[in-house]
Every structure is written in C-alpha cells, then in structure tokens.
Chain A
Amino acid sequence: MTTDEIIPACATIGKVRPHPTQNEALLFEKSSPGKRAYKLPPLDVPAVDAASLLGAAHRDVPGELPELSEIEIIRHFTRLSTWNYAIDLGMYPLGSCTMKYNPRVNELVARIEGLAEAHPYRPDSLAQGILEVIDLLQRCLLEITGMDAITLQPAAGAHGEFTGILLVRAWHESQGNARKKILIPDSAHGTNPATAAICGYTVENLKSNSEGGIDLEALTRQVDEETAALMLTNPSTIGVFESQIAKIAEILHAKGALLYMDGANMNALVGKTRPGDFGVDVMHLNLHKTFSTPHGGGGPGSGPVACKAFLEPFLPIPVLAGTKGLGTEGLAANCQLHWNYDRPQSVGRVRAFYGNVGMFIRALAYILANGPDGLRQTTEDAVLNANYIRAKLEDIYELPYKTASMHEVVFSDKLQAARGVKTGEIAKRLIDYGFHPYTVSFPMIVHGALMIEPTESESLEELDLFIAAMRAIAREVEATPELVKTAPHSTRVSKLDEVQAARKPILRWRRTA
C-alpha cells in the first residue's frame, strides 16, 4: 500500500497530516566516557576513602549507566516524547480509563516547596499545611461519595480494591466468620478477581443479564452465608447504571454480605448521585480518573477507599485525627491535625507513609477549580459526550446492549467482523486518523468490544472528527478491508512482533562485545 492511498483517506477528515519524527537510539548507545550532565558542589566536609570505609561492601565495578551531556538528555527524552500519543494531542477515548484533561495548575501547586519537600516523618506540628490539604480532600471525597470514613493510603485503584476487601474481611471476622467467597460479575475489570484472590477469597462469577447488568435472580441464588461481598462496578463496564442498585444492596445485606463498589466509573456520578445513598458499604476512587491527576504513561495513581461508619475501625493505620466535618466554612481547618496509630482493629498498613500525597494535592486543586457546579457540569458533559457518540455511530456499529449509556458506550464489531475485520484492527486504523484507540475487547461480556469513553474534555469539534473517523473506517471495512487490517500505516513503527517479544524476552539492553 502506498502512502498516496493511505494518507488521503485519513486526511479527508482534517485531523492529521504526516510529520517527520526524529530517530533516537537508546541512552546506552549514545554514551561515551567522560561526558557529564552534572556538577556537584565542592565537598565542605573531609573526603572519605570509600573503599577502605566500606571494605568488602564497596562497589568496585560501577553499573553501566550512560554518560551524556545535558542537551543530549533533553533531546533524547524530547524525541522519545514525540513518539507518544497523549490527551494533550487529542481525544484518548480509552474506555474505563477516563482520559480527561489534566489541568496544569495541579502540576504547579504540587511542586510548591513547602508541600513537595515535606518529609513524611517531620513532626505533625511542622506538617499542618499538608495535613490540612489531606483533611480537606478527605472531607470533599466523603461528601462526593456520601460515605462516612476514608483512607487515602492506597497507591492506585487495584491497591484500593485490596484495601477495601481487607475491610470487608476484617468486619466479617469481627462478626465471627470471615466467609469464603466474593461474587464478581463477568463484566468486571480483571483487577477485581485478582484482588479477591490475594485477600484469600474464592471468586464466584456472576453472569450478567440480557441488559448487561446484575441478574437479580442469579444474585439471590448465589448470595449465601459464605458470601463476603459483591464487587460491583457502577456504572458497569458497559457504561450502564444499575437501576436495581438498591435492590442489589438489599439482597446482599439480607444475607449479611456487603456491597463493594469499584469506583472506576465514579466520573459518571459525581454531583448526580452518591454511592453512600444507594447502599454501597465500601468503595474505592481513582484520583487519576475522576479527579484529573495525570496518568503519566501508567501511574502514579491514587486509590482512596471510602466506607460506611461500621467499617471505620478497620481502616489502615494511620488515620488522620483532629479533623472536623465539611461545612460551608472557609478552606482552613483551624485545628491541630495529627496521625493516629492507635487503631487496634485496623487491617494494618497497605503502604509505607500516607499514600501518594502529590496526587492528593492535584485532586484537591481540581475540586477547588470546579466547585459544586463545575463537578456536576463535568459529569453531565461526560455523559452527554458518550451519548452523542452513541447516537452518531449506532447505525453503523452494533450496539449489543440498548440500555441507556452513562459516561461510556460499548459497541461490538459484529457488523465489521462479518467482513473479516475485528475490533483490534479498527482500533489500529483509528491511529491513522489521529486518535488513540478505544479500549479493545473489554468488557468480556461483549464479543469484539469497542469500549469508548470520550470524557467531558472533548469539544464538539473533536467529537465530530472522531465520529467522522469511525464512519470512514466503517466504509473502509466495506471497500478496502485490507487497508484496515494492516493498520496503522502512518506510525514510526508498524505492527510489532509481540510473539517474538514474549518467546525470547529481551527485557534490557546489554553491551555487545
């Protein structure tokens, strides 16, 4: 296929034109001895002879780190960066991941010296500023979720799930029986069953009903005295709100089981409804999804866990004490905040120190920028965008579940697969049109899923470009399926050999003789 055939097709929608990217070798291949990008200040204490001081523990052979100058490092990473797609470049509709705009003021405030340079063991009296930030964020998140108590310690969503299920387990133990199993819908994220397993529970699969939601009859049948909890994502991974949520909670609670909510999709609910008001006992939030902290190429995240009062005694140590409720008063807490380690019923620690504090600062900056109106409007726009895409594409992509969509819409590749083109290939072709692919082949209850989450951050113009690209690809599937199946055509590297990567793993550079 020639460039002439490939590029004009994508260029017609007006989103992309080809642009050269620079080549760049590995740092190690560019290194040469004697180059320096650092200069230490003169030593103001006597120098020591490391070899004699450390004896057998002295390192005689240095690690093979590259030796480069500053400009080479700048160019190296800048060139690498241009090989990435990013939210800052365009729509990144990766369903379930909530790739929304990451405000830059968040980055600025997280770097304010008094916050960024605070040592975790400084005395509480010298940490009142950061403790107030943590306190205010906690109070905001409790208000947003409608829950009673919270820990910010977990480092990411999956870590929050782990913490939340530990709370469930500790509570059941306090009732005399830890119970044996966790129910998980077949539409759930892979982290849910993995979490239940590492908490010592067996996983029992809960089959979705014809609408992609919880099958109440199956739930009633499967919940028993050995059921510790149901892990439920709401809205579900097909972007559908469980309208029977109150009934679900009732069925669980009647058997003494708890309702855990995976809050990955909380961005569809903020300001519109609160998990604490619809029967959830414990849940996690992803600050890097709903609350705009950057995804950073795969972290850092932050996975606070909020719970009802009866689970509060089990929260990880330490918990913030000296806090007061969230009123309409100003931002300051005006009381001596401190960490409380005296928590005999705690599940223990899940992480050293207090959590990914830098992410707390960013999340709070986001909440402050929005206020109650902005948070609600954000949710509404996210749902509006997803429904707009649904309305504009449902005539050419199969919509397996017709239930009302919230913040994301899940199509299947049924119509395109009939022409031999699968969701993964359509996704790769989207790259040529200037978009990041949607989430491919997930959730597993939809065969050949296209999971699209636009978030609130997309303008009408960008949405229309995306819709035009998806429609153009659907036409290509009919007219020139090979063009789609061999995509992407416009990237630096073409399809990479993943089989070879896994069969003979090369996981590091090594100097060749």
Chain B
Amino acid sequence: MRYLPKSPAEREQMLAEIGVASIDELFAVIPADRRLTRDLTVPRAHAESEIIEYFRAAGAKNATDYASFLGAGAYRHYRPVIIDSLIQRGEFLTSYTPYQAEISQGTLQAIFEFQTMIAELTGMDVANASMYDGSTGAAEAVMMAVRVTRHHKAVVAATVHPEYREVLATYAKHQGVPTALIGYDAETGRLDLAALEAAVTQETAAVLVQSPNVFGVIEDIPAIAAIAHNKGALLIVSIAEAISLGVVRPPVEADIVSMEAQSFGVALSYGGPFCGVLATKEQYVRQMPGRLVGQTVDSSGYRGFVLTLSTREQHIRREKATSNICTNQALVALMATIFLSVYGKEGIRELAEHNLAKASYAAQTLSAQPGAKLLFHGAPRFHEFVLQTEESPEQWSKRLLDNKIVGGIDLSRWYPELQNCTLWCATEVITRSNIDTAAKVLAAWPVEA
C-alpha cells in the first residue's frame, strides 16, 4: 500500500469527522447480496523489485536480440534519448486534457507545435491534436468526408493496410457507408486507376488510399486526386510510415491526410500506444474530429493557447458530435514533437534518405538470391518491398530465426493471390550485415534432388 498516503490513525480520524463508525458504512449503499465479501483472486502485493523482476523475465522470454525486417504499419526507428527524459517530466506525464488553459500552457503550446509540424510535413493547412492511431484515424477521416460532401459511399484501395480496412469496415457498417474495394495493378503494385475511375460516382464521399501503400509503393496521388475530385469526392491519403515525408512529396492534392506518427520516436510496444493524426484543408476544419489547439491572447495581450472549436465535440454536442473521441494520444504526440525537433528540417530528410538507401540495398541484395525476385516494378518505393521466393516463407523463415533474424511478413495472410510473397522493411536501424546474413540464409535453399 505504498501508494496510499494515510496512516491507520488518520483514517480513523477522518471516519470520526465524517461521522461514521467504520469504512463499511460508506459502502452500505451497495446491496448486501451484491457485496464482495472475499479477497479478489489476483496476485498478492509485490515489492517493487519483484515487479521489475517479473517484467524483465517477460521481456527476456520475448527475445530481444533479433534483427527484424518487419514493417507493415509498425516501424522500428532509433529513438533519441531526450524523448523519454522530457516526456517523463511529471508536468507532462501526470496532467490531463488541457481544459484549464491558464495552468496547461505547456501542453497547449506543445500541441500547437505538433499541429504545425504535421501540417508542414503533410502539406495540409491544419492538423488536429491526435487520434488513437492510423487505423481509427483513417476510419474517422472517411466519416468526416461523409459529413463534408453529404455523399454516403466510400471507395477504398486494396493497397491500404488490411487492418486499417478492417477497422474502417467496422466503423462504416453502422453508419450506412458502403465501401467499394479497388484492386491494384499486378505490375506496379499501385492502385488500379481505371478501376478507380469506374468506381467513383457522384455518390462517393471519399476515396481512401495509402501512400506509401502496404507494399511500400508510392501511389500516384495527383492522378488519384483528379479522379476523386472530378466526381466531387474527397481524397483521403493514409500515411502509415511518417518518416517517408522527409523525402516523398507530400500529398498536397489530398483533402484529408490521416497519418500514423509512430515512426516519430514512438516505441513499437507490440502495436501501441501509437499516434494517429488528421490533417486537412482549412475549409473542412469544422468537420474534423478530435481536439484542436488555437492561438489567442490573454487579457493583457500576451500570446496564449486554448482548446478551441469544441462545439464539434462530444462533451458539448453529445449525440450530434463529429466523433465520440475524448482522450486521445497527447503524450505520444509530444514524443513525436520532440523527435521532430531533434531531427528538424534537414535531419528528417537525411533520415528518410538513409531508410531509402537501406531498403534499396536490401531489395537488390535479397532479390539477387536464387529463387527470389522483387515483385512490382515501375513505381517508386520507400523502405518496404515485396519479395517473391520459390521456397515457401515458412521454410526460410525458420532458418532466418535460427540466425536471429525475423524476415518479412507473409502477405498471403491478407492477399491470398500473393503466395510465397513477403513484405520486407529496412529502416536505418538495419545494418548491412543484417541484410547480407539474410541474403545468405535465403540462398541456402536446400534444393531437393
């Protein structure tokens, strides 16, 4: 009970001042037959040292010394030390949503800076204070487009992260937004533009694409935007790998950008917490969900920041709100803000170029091995690529694991037509030696006589 700041005598004193004989009197309102009269069957109280020991053991069981080529919406990048130094300041860590602006200026200014950075990177006018993650952000963006256009259908690229599409399906189902799925060009791995053109109608609220897409291929955003806008639909671009914006042209033709900012200094943490964020054009901001921080002045004319445009939100509008979102990912957005301050204008480009170089070397080296080839040609990629092997991934991945390497993700789990195809990711933390070892293992394909 080391977290409880009271002595037994103090508890007695307080009960006396309240005017009750025992603590149980304060719980008397709970019907007797519904009270829990036994101890909870949870583990006994542990000493701090035991807690650390338990989690260290769990961490060790997870295996830490593997090089990993896993990506697909969760990316391992180097995290500068000062991120954790700063976000663990109690004033950031243990405060809440900055409703009381006068004593929350730190959080408010940091969010304003985050909104600015995201707008700058995505080429949009404004960004919100964060969403849960990239998947829910994309779903919320589609609902936002429905409100803006008053159309009620969505067209979704099959090259959007499959789990993002599943989340969208869950959201769309109950809001009466039918979605049509558009396939990809088997040659380039890009969205099939002819199919898109055929699918977008006057009833389409949104076209949702991802770029770089789930195969790591950069979509032709200007061409897609033209098709969407021609029919009065909004274009939503989902970005799962935020680092790409250091070197990839931002989707300025989009109406809404839904980004997963995990790559900006956020640990993988087995998939969360991550940091979604929506950015959009100025004219759509009142239909955007989530918190927004705005600049204003105090009564003496000093600059200050407040939560603003909250008439969009659930605590004011209740069932007519743009979304039910309340708590978002503020501390994770702060990590991203610090990360972007560390790398800055030049660093983010240099970092993205290192990713490009690693992936380029990895793609060349791995696809040069016997029985292996690169899938999708003719369109630019960022740091992920699809490798097709004659040997089944199940086989070679075992050999890779023996060499302490986790290879690419088997794409057939989502795309049954992509048998023996794996999605590989090489960020700046992958070394040449990791790549060369993986290549050697792939080459050691035991060809049966």
Q: Does B272 contact A (CB under 8 A)?
A: yes
Q: Which of B227-235, B327-335, B369-377 contacts A (4 or more CB under 8 A)?
A: B327-335
Instruction: Give Cα A458 to B27, complex, Å.
Output: 20
Contact of B61 among A122, A132, A300 (CB under 8 A): A132
Q: How far is the CA of A118 from the CA of B143 in the complex (A)?
A: 32
Residue in B89, B169, B304 whose CB lies within 8 Å of A78 = B89
Query: For residue B444, which residues in chain A have a CB less than 8 angstroms away from its CB?
Result: none
Contact A86 B90 (CB under 8 A): yes
A254 at the interface (CB under 8 A from B): no
Q: Is the CB of B35 within 8 A of A50?
A: no
Contacts of A302 in B (CB 8 A): 273
A388 in contact (CB, < 8 A): yes
**A113 to B270, alpha carbons, bound, how many Å?**
11
Q: Mark B33-49, 1 if CB is under 8 A from A, else 0.
A: 01110011111111010
If A103-B3, A194-B321 touch, whether A357 touches B55 (CB-CB below 8 Å) is: no
CB nearest to B360 among chain A residues: A48
Residues of A within 8 A of B89 (CB): 77-78, 81
Q: Can you pick out 21 interface pairs between chain A and chain B where the beta carbons lie within 8 Å of each other?
A: A26-B113, A45-B435, A65-B117, A77-B86, A84-B106, A86-B93, A88-B91, A105-B48, A112-B59, A114-B59, A119-B76, A286-B327, A300-B328, A349-B135, A353-B271, A369-B45, A460-B10, A496-B101, A497-B296, A498-B308, A506-B294
| B195 interface residue per 8 A CB criterion | no
Query: A273-B36, A353-B74 given as contacts; is B341 within 8 A of A27 (CB)?
Result: yes
The answer to whether A196 and B96 touch across the interface, beta carbons within 8 angstroms, is: no
User: Residue A243 contacts which of B29, B98, B104, B109 (CB distance < 8 angstroms)?
Assistant: B29
Do A353 and B360 touch (CB < 8 A)?
A: no
Contact A358 B272 (CB under 8 A): yes
Which residues on A sit within 8 Å (CB–CB) of B313? 190
Q: How far is the CA of A246 from the CA of B68 in the complex (A)?
A: 52
Return the chain A residue nearest B121 by Cβ: A63
State whether B174 touches A73 (Cβ < 8 A): no
Tell which of A6-14, A31-39, A217-225 binds the partner.
A31-39
Question: Which residues of B lie under 8 Å from residue A107 when comparing CB positions?
Answer: 88, 93
- The 8 A CB mask of A475-491 against B (1 = contact, 0 = none) is 00000000000001001
Check A295 against B51 for contact (C-beta < 8 Å). no
Interface residues of B in 1-51 (CB under 8 A from A): 1-6, 10-11, 13-15, 17-20, 23, 26-31, 34-36, 39-46, 48, 50-51
Q: Are A57 and B1 in contact (CB under 8 A)?
A: no
Name the one of A31, A53, A240, A316 contacting B356, with C-beta atoms under 8 angstroms. A53
**Chain A residues with CB below 8 A from B296, complex form:** 496-498, 500-501, 506
Is there contact, CB below 8 Å, between B14 and A508? no
Q: How far apart are the CA atoms of A60 and B92 in the complex, in Å?
A: 35
Among residues 286 to 309 in chain B, which have CB atoms less than 8 Å away from a CB atom of chain A? 291-300, 302, 304-306, 308-309
Other-chain residue from A59, A87, A298 in contact with B327 (beta carbon distance below 8 A): A298
Given contacts A46-B360, A67-B344, 7 further A-B contacts (CB under 8 A): A47-B357, A83-B109, A157-B326, A194-B317, A300-B132, A367-B42, A501-B295
A200 close to B175 (CB less than 8 A):
yes
B402 on the interface (CB 8 Å rule)?
no
Q: Which residue of B85, B273, B357 contacts A46 across the interface (Cβ within 8 Å)?
A: B357
If A45-B361, A86-B93, A300-B332 touch, whether A368 touches B250 (CB-CB below 8 Å) is no
A37 with B344: in contact, given A194-B321, A356-B272 (CB under 8 Å)?
A: yes
Measured in the bound complex, the distance between the Cα atoms of B331 and A384 in whole Å is 31
Judge whether B298 and A495 touch: CB under 8 Å: yes
Are the CB atoms of A66 and B341 closer together than 8 Å?
Answer: yes
Min Cβ gap A437→B in Å is: 5
B268 within 8 A of A: yes
Contact partners of B31 in chain A: CB under 8 A = 243, 245-246, 278
Report if A271-B36 is in contact (Cβ < 8 Å); known contacts: A59-B250, A194-B323, A349-B167: yes
- Bound complex: CA A353 to CA B73 (Å): 9
- Asked whether any CB of chain B lies closer than 8 Å to the CB of A348, the reply is yes
Complex CA gap A60/B245 in Å reads: 11
Q: Given A38-B347, A494-B298: A80 and B106 within 8 A (CB)?
A: yes
Contacts of A114 in B (CB 8 A): 58-64
Cβ contacts under 8 Å, A380 to chain B: 23, 26-27
The one of A87, A196, A331, A355 in contact with B271, judged by C-beta atoms closer than 8 angstroms, is A355
Question: A195 vs B316: C-alpha distance in the bound complex, in angstroms?
Answer: 14
Query: Chain A contact residues (Cβ within 8 angstroms of B): what range?
Result: 35 or more
B321, A190: Cβ atoms under 8 Å? yes
A505 sits at the interface (CB 8 A): yes
A260 on the interface (CB 8 Å rule)? Answer: no
Q: Does B163 contact A (CB under 8 A)?
A: yes
- Pick the contact of B323: A26, A198, A351, A372 (CB < 8 A): A198
CA–CA, A148 and B397, complex, Å:
37
**In the A-B complex, the 3 residue pairs with the closest CB atoms:** A353-B271, A114-B59, A296-B331
If A116-B269, A119-B76, A133-B55 touch, whether A127 touches B82 (CB-CB below 8 Å) is no
Within 8 A of A (CB), among B123-150: 125-127, 129-130, 132-136, 143
Asked, given contacts A128-B61, A190-B314, whether A31 binds B42 with beta carbons under 8 Å apart, the answer is no
Q: A132 contacts which of B3, B58, B247 (Cβ < 8 Å)?
A: B58
A323 to chain B minimum Cβ distance, whole angstroms, is: 15
Say whether B329 contacts A299, CB under 8 Å. Answer: yes
Interface window among A92-100, A305-313, A412-420 = A92-100
| B368 at interface by CB-CB < 8 Å | no
Interface string of A447-465 (1 = CB under 8 A from B): 0000000001111101000
What is the distance, in angstroms, from B335's C-beta to the closest C-beta of chain A?
A: 10
Q: Does B320 contact A (CB under 8 A)?
A: yes
Q: Which of B68-117 contact A (CB under 8 A)?
A: 68, 70, 72-74, 76, 80, 82, 84-107, 109-113, 115-117
In the complex, chain A residues 281-316 whose Cβ is within 8 Å of any chain B Cβ = 286, 288, 292, 294-302, 316
Residues of B contacting A347 in the complex (Cβ-Cβ under 8 angstroms): 170
Inter-subunit contact B121/A458 (CB<8 Å): no
A89: Cβ under 8 A from any B Cβ: yes
Q: A45-B432, A158-B326, A195-B324 are in contact. Are A36 and B347 (CB under 8 A)?
A: yes
Residues of A within 8 A of B68 (CB): 119, 122
Which residue in chain A gives the minimum CB-CB distance to B434? A44
- Say whether A159 faces chain B, with CB atoms less than 8 Å apart: yes
Whole-angstrom distance between the alpha carbons of A202 and B386 in the complex? Answer: 46
A161 touches B42 (CB 8 A): no
Contacts of B93 in A (CB 8 A): 86, 88, 102, 107, 294, 296
Q: Report the separation of the CA atoms of residues A36 and B341 in the bound assembly, to the nearest whole angstrom.
A: 9
Q: Is the CB of B132 within 8 A of A115?
A: no
List chain A residues, Cβ under 8 A from B61: 114, 128-129, 132
Would you give the shortest CB distance from B274 to chain A, in whole angstroms? Answer: 8
Q: Is A259 an interface residue (CB 8 A)?
A: no
**Which residues on B sit within 8 Å (CB–CB) of A507?**
112, 115, 126-127, 285, 292-295, 308
B86 touching A460 by the CB < 8 A rule?
A: no
Which partner residue on chain A sits nearest B435 by CB separation?
A45
**Distance, CA A43 to CA B132, complexed state (A):** 34
- Chain A residues whose C-beta falls within 8 Å of the C-beta of B74 in the assembled complex: 119-121, 353
Partner of B358, one of A45, A194, A195: A45
Within 166-207 of B, Cβ neighbours of A (below 8 Å) are at: 166-167, 169-171, 173-176
Bound state CA distance, A40 and B427, in angstroms?
13
B415 within 8 A of A: no
Q: A43-B354, A191-B326 are in contact. Are A119 and B5 (CB under 8 A)?
A: no
Cβ–Cβ < 8 Å partners of A53 in chain B: 356, 360, 380
A492 within 8 A of B: yes
CA distance A143 to B36 in the complex (A): 11
Chain A residues lying within 8 Å of B35, measured Cβ to Cβ, are 272-273
